Amino acid sequence: MNLSTCVKLCCHQKMPVTSLFVERSTPLQEIQTARRGGCRHFHFSLGSEAQISTMLVEPLERDDFFLTLHIDTRLPAIRGLMDIDLMLLEGKEVATYLMMEKWQEAGYTHSIGVAYYTIP
């Protein structure tokens, strides 16, 4: 079984991405950002397990970029039904998508809003 799942989102965003939030049920947890080799890495935790994952932003053109989200699917919180809202600190929505149960096996992701392209 693949223990790490990659979700790639194609986004059109004019404002630069500096920090992102990950929202899981009630609490909002701020992502600590770091720059490595020209790419922006966003580190965040999901739930009480405090699992650290990495989001890589790859610039494509002037206003487009890819968000690649790597998640450890061994976590019980990820295996169940959950919503993750990715938002800029200014409140602009980048991506909202629903993760269904066993989505890591089926490669199924339902994406809404600005970020609409997903790959399993």
> What's the pLDDT score for residue 56?
44
CB 96 within 8 A of CB 113: yes
3 exposure class (CB count in 10 Å sphere: 0-12, 13-18, 19+): exposed
Tell me the average confidence (pLDDT) per consecutive run of 10 residues in the chain, 120 residues long.
34 35 29 31 35 42 44 40 32 34 36 26
> What's the pLDDT score for residue 57?
44
Q: Domain map of the chain by residue range?
A: 4-112
